[in-house]
Each structure stands twice: as structure tokens, then as C-alpha cells.
Amino acid sequence: MKKTALKKDVTPLVRKAHAVKTDTVVEVRSYARKIWLAGLGAYAKAGKEGLDYVKELIKAGEGVEKDGKKVIDKELKAANSQIDAAKDEVAEAKGKVEVQLDKLEKLFDVRVASALNRIGIPSRHDVDTLSAKLDKLTALVERAARKP
């Protein structure tokens, strides 16, 4: 029951992280296309207006590139933060599930041991205790047999 709830809680985070990643990729492609077109335009105008104009375009391109990197870094950090939060939630849920499984296993062991005891099958502790008593008795018999 908790596993289903966990999937419902984590799935929107994963979808949102994927959407952020997809949006960022689309934006990057759009910027790349615009930069390409600006470069072509600059090349065309460079022949007409000269080297100074090309230098201005390079400066403008550097500014756009810098701003684009900031946006991408910000979006990437936000997506990674959400992914880390989802991982933490999954790890926490996994720990809780393991604890519950351990409790269930112990309860199962107790119930099985109780059922075996009711039908007369001795437990490992009973066998170990009887074995220890048998070892003491064997030692006593061996000592008694050595004495003339």
C-alpha cells in the first residue's frame, strides 16, 4: 500500500524534472539556431560594413551566451535538486519497507516456531539443550567406565 503511494508521490517530481530538462533542451536549440542565424547575418554584413560591426556582434553573442549559460545552470540546478529530493524520499521509503519486512519476518518465525512446538516438534534450542545434556552424560559415563 505504501509502495503505491510512494510511486504517486515521486512520479510528479520525475515528470517535472523531465519537463524542465525537455524545456531547457528546446530553449538551447532555439538559442543555437538564433546564434547561427546571427552569425550568418554577421558574415553577410561583414563584407559590407567591415570589421567593427563583426566585433560588435561577437560581443553581443558573448553576452547572449553568458546569459544562456546562467539560465541553463539555474534550470539544471533546480532539476537536480528535485531529483535529489526524490532519491532521498525513495531511500527513506526503502528503509521503512526494510524495517517492516524485518518485523514481518520475525513475526513469521515466531508463529512458525509456535506451530511446530504445538505439534510436538522440538525447537533448535530444545535440540541444543538436549545435545549439551547428552554430552555431559557421555562424559560422566566415560569417567565411570575408566574407574575400576
CB 25 within 8 A of CB 116: no
Query: In this structure, what DSSP letter does residue 147 have?
Result: -
Average pLDDT score, the chain = 83
Average pLDDT over residues 29-38: 86
**Residue 125 is which amino acid?**
H
The model carries a pTM of 0.38
The CA-to-CA distance between both ends of the chain, in Å, stands at 73
Question: Considering the chain, what percentage of its residues have pLDDT values greater than 70?
Answer: 82
- Give the count of alpha carbons within 13 A of 70, CB side only: 6
The model's pLDDT over 85-100, given as tens digits with 9 standing for 90+, comes to: 999 999 999 999 999 9
Number of domains in the chain: 1
Highest mean pLDDT among 44-58, 94-108, 116-130: 94-108
pLDDT at 3: 52
Collapsed DSSP state (helix, strand, coil) of residue 40: helix
Go through the chain and tell me how many residues it has.
148
The model's pLDDT over 34-64, given as tens digits with 9 standing for 90+, comes to: 888 888 887 777 676 677 777 888 899 899 8
Cell numbers 556582434 correspond to 57
The model's pLDDT over 61-83, given as tens digits with 9 standing for 90+, comes to: 899 899 989 999 999 999 999 99
pLDDT above 80 (res 101): yes
pLDDT at 67: 92
Looking only at Cα atoms, what is the longest distance across the chain?
128
Average pLDDT over residues 25-32: 81
> pLDDT higher for 26 or 145?
145
Distance CA 63, CA 126 (A): 81
Containing structural domain, residue 48: 2-146
Per DSSP, helices labelled H in the chain are 2-49, 51-118, 124-146
Q: How confident is the model at residue 1 (pLDDT cuts 50, 70, 90)?
A: very low
Q: Please report, for residues 7, 115, 123, 131, 132, the alpha-carbon distance to residue 127 in angstroms, rounded to integers and kept in the order given.
A: 47, 17, 6, 6, 9
